[in-house]
Chains A and B, each alone.
Chain A
Amino acid sequence: MKAVVWEGINRVKVERVPDPEILQPTDAIVRVTATAICGSDLHLLDGYVPSMAHGDILGHEFMGEVVEVGSAVRKIKKGDRVIVPFPISCGKCWYCQRGQTSLCDNSNPNAKLAEALWGYSPAGIYGYSHITGGYAGGQAQFARTVFADDNLYKVPDGLTDDQVLFLTDVLPTGYMAAENCNIEQGDVVAVFGCGPVGQFAIRSAFLLGAGRVIAIDRFPERLDLARGAGAETINYEEEEVFERLKAMTGGRGPDSVMDAVGLEAHGTGVGGMADAVKQTTRVLETERPHALRSAIMACRKGGTVSVPGVYGGLGDKIPLGAFMNKGLTLKTGQTHVHRYLDVLTRHIERGEIDPTVIITHRLSLDEAPHAYKIFKHKHEHCIKCVLDPWADPKDHDPVKAGDIRANSAD
């Protein structure tokens, strides 16, 4: 089969690799019909999340059709159309039973490695470095999925791949980020970063009762899309964000602030430069926590900072004084995808949230290196790339942001 393979820092390649096999009785093999590149894949591409190895198959946003199941799989059947949530849930441990599936105790085969870096091990994740298990990912024609009964989510009839693909990660991630904001009716919420997660965070914040959402980014196409959802926007290259936020909120500051950027924020000024220099060593500092610093500073007293953005190791100069003296609450975490699937599927079915609005590019798997490049550098106004593992590269042209008719071609 064809698969997207990590070849080293800033190098991905599409290669022929062996087809996946059932290795354990609870496995299922999925024929991938749609997969996407996630912002956190860029942290892997750039080598900032440690423990990537040459030849790793990437991809943690994928869906498809079940073509084979292990002997212990009961609920999932051959022929089922499923999405594959990115964190792997064993379904049995205390965390999984409480719906905190991204903290699963049992699904990371390399838990020891994770404990060395983070103290305790979170769940295994597909295609997401060896710290989170070293599982082969889904940017491929087929994928081995594990604990199939507890993880695979059957897609209701009548929904297209494009409508449900992002249930695997970015949609529930934006939703959980908004839920973590403890939004009260009419609250003002600020979102740093208007990529795919930021877009869904904005929409979710409104669904959960926010009165106003202020979206911060520097790319016009992303800010346009945020405005389309009803957000007010700040372009941080044109305006001083903190002052503007204060002015927009009557001097109080937003009630909650999300950092939907993570460890490769484009900082400004001396601090931003220092982060960038230190991060290139991958030792002195593994993060560029500019958005997190800004979120902590901008949040009103007693407010909540929610962090869906991915961090990997150690960041410097987090304003702990502001954090403590303003009485802030910090809520973080990889997404407990499983717990949001039913509620979000209903929102999609009722048309209250349209996941397809973020798709700007539709490419074949063979074009993955190009897709990574344009997504990373935001060339061609790229917001989100969907890859078709079975397509002929000649079939696909870029589509316009928000153009739903062009997106639901299947």
Chain B
Amino acid sequence: MPDQPLSPQNASPVERAVMGGLGAGMIAVSLRRPGPAGLMFAATGALLLAGASMGRSVGARMVGIRRTPDDGIAVEKAVTIGLPPEDLYAFWRNFGNLPRFMNHLESVKVQSDGTRSHWVAKAPAGTHVQWDAEITEDQPGRRIAWRSVEGTPVPNEGHVDFRAAPTGRGTEVHVSLKYRPPGGSMGAAVARMLGEEPGVQIAEDLRRLKRLLEVGEEPTTEGQSSGRRNALKKAEAKMFDNGRTA
């Protein structure tokens, strides 16, 4: 059972219109082209048109983007960490700690009133996004919920739950987030493929949090010896060793 309601449709209205148009266009082209090429066009066009009419986005499906009924992108990730819920809550509630494991966050500054905070994050292509958020729910040792305030470029809201894991395994940290990216689910799908989408980032953030708290450091092979000399060979290895970048 997901933490938040999800829409069976994962394509935004704009995407449905664009993809539907493209599909109809390809079917029209196929009518003028006999042979295998025409058949390919017809089949692809039919697929796109069907997807658009049902509200299913092929791209979003492939990269696993999920939408909420009110047009947001839903992200749910969880990790189990071998510490008591109180410790995890305390670590997280001190928002200044968040950039220590959320690589895309530059800073989080809590305002004097204690519930409002200012967030600065790295965005795709070297840009930055900033927003203000307020705490909407704060249950010590159990849950923190927040929402971005009016006028945010990427409106978002979410909560993190800390639940005791069974048989002394520590704490399950459940993050549930909803956001509205520029470009809707298409934008989110592109960001996901570039590794810059919150769903990808949060999974990696939670892994970093676990490693930070359980071991005190991230394992790395950055800078180790190898028999790779030229840039092409180095890039080949880098392609596999992408777990710690993002």
Contact = CB atoms under 8 A, between A and B. Distances in A.
A106 B210 contact: yes
B221 A133 contact: yes
B229 to A, nearest CB: 7
B224 interface: yes
B164 to A, nearest CB: 14
A103 to B, nearest CB: 13
Contacts of A106: 210-211, 214-215, 219
Contact of B243 (A1, A18, A94, A109): A109
Contacts of B220: 23-24, 109
Contacts of B222: 23
B217 A25 contact: yes
B226 to A, nearest CB: 5
B218 A17 contact: no
Contacts of A173: none
Nearest to A21: B223
B237 to A, nearest CB: 4
B207 A56 contact: no
A19 interface: yes
A334 interface: no
Chain A: interface size category: 35 or more
Contact of A90 (B214, B229, B241): B214
A23 B220 CA distance: 8
A7 B236 CA distance: 13
A136 interface: yes
B217 A56 contact: no
Contacts of B80: 94
Interface string A76-119: 00000000000010101110010000000111111111000000
Given A26-B217, A93-B214, A51 B240 contact: yes
Contact of A19 (B217, B225, B236): B225
A146 B219 contact: yes
A71 B215 CA distance: 15
Contacts of B241: 109-110, 130, 134
A42 interface: no
A15 B236 CA distance: 19
B210 A56 contact: no
B225 A57 contact: yes
A139 to B, nearest CB: 11
B242 interface: yes
Nearest to A136: B224
Given A105-B210, A113-B243, A134-B241, A54 B225 contact: no
Contact of B215 (A23, A90, A140): A90
B244 A92 contact: no
Interface in B182-214: 203-204, 207, 210-211, 214
Interface in A4-22: 5-7, 13, 15, 17-21
Given A3-B227, A13-B227, A55-B229, A92 B215 contact: yes
Chain B: interface size category: 20 to 34
B33 interface: no
Contacts of A131: 240
User: Chain A binding site: helix, strand, loop or mixed by DSSP?
Assistant: loop
A108 B244 CA distance: 10
Contacts of B203: 112
A294 to B, nearest CB: 34
A136 B211 contact: no
A97 B233 CA distance: 38
A283 to B, nearest CB: 18
Nearest to A142: B225
B181 interface: no
Interface string A214-241: 0000000000000000000000000000
B170 interface: yes
A135 B229 contact: no
A124 interface: yes
Given A20-B224, A93-B82, A112-B243, A107 B219 contact: yes
B236 A54 contact: yes
A53 interface: yes
Nearest to B195: A112
B205 to A, nearest CB: 12
A147 B169 CA distance: 22
A6 B228 CA distance: 10
B233 A55 contact: yes
Nearest to A143: B225
Contacts of B170: 94
B16 to A, nearest CB: 29
Contacts of A144: 224-225
B227 A17 contact: yes
Interface string A139-177: 010001011000000000000000000000000000000
Given A90-B215, A93-B82, A130 B237 contact: yes
Nearest to B165: A94
Given A90-B214, A109-B244, A110-B240, A124 B228 contact: no
Contacts of B224: 20-21, 23, 135-136, 144
A168 B222 CA distance: 24
Given A90-B214, A109-B221, A136-B225, 13 more contacts: A5-B227, A15-B227, A18-B225, A19-B225, A93-B82, A94-B82, A94-B169, A105-B210, A105-B214, A106-B210, A110-B243, A134-B241, A146-B219
20 contacts: A13-B227, A17-B226, A20-B225, A23-B223, A24-B220, A26-B217, A53-B237, A56-B227, A90-B215, A93-B82, A106-B210, A106-B211, A106-B214, A106-B215, A107-B219, A112-B204, A112-B242, A113-B240, A130-B240, A133-B221
A-B pairs, 9 with minimum CB distance: A55-B228, A130-B240, A5-B227, A55-B227, A53-B237, A112-B243, A110-B243, A55-B226, A92-B214
Interface of B: 80, 82, 169-170, 203-204, 207, 210-211, 214-215, 217-229, 233, 236-237, 240-244
